Amino acid sequence: MKQSFYLYALKYRGGQKKDKKALFAEAMFNQHDFPKAETSFDSLSKYIEELAHLDMSATVFDELWELYKEASS
């Protein structure tokens, strides 16, 4: 089974405070309604656009998604 995006992105938690991926991962971790089991770009993108914390920008999500896709293939 494919690892969820959430589990993949958690590896960026604890990074430097200026690292946008680390800020994204920390905000994602603290947002309790984040879809933790999701592997679909469309579902996650919709969540990011509509419900996510300000530190969870769509630009950083797109960067992380590309890394996630590479790691999953």
The model's pLDDT over 40-68, given as tens digits with 9 standing for 90+, comes to 999 999 999 999 888 899 999 999 999 99
pTM of the model: 0.90
d(CA 9, CA 44): 12
Give domain limits for the chain: 5-72
Give residue 17's pLDDT.
Answer: 85
Residue 31: strand, helix, or coil: coil
What backbone phi and psi angles, to 5 degrees, belong to 5?
-60, -40
Q: Largest Cα–Cα distance of the chain, in whole Å?
A: 33
Contact 54, 60 (CB under 8 A): no
Architecture of domain 5-72: Orthogonal Bundle (1.10)
Query: CA-CA distance, 73 to 65, in Å (whole number)?
Result: 12
pLDDT digits (tens, 9 = 90+) for 11-51: 999 988 899 999 999 999 999 999 999 999 999 999 999 99
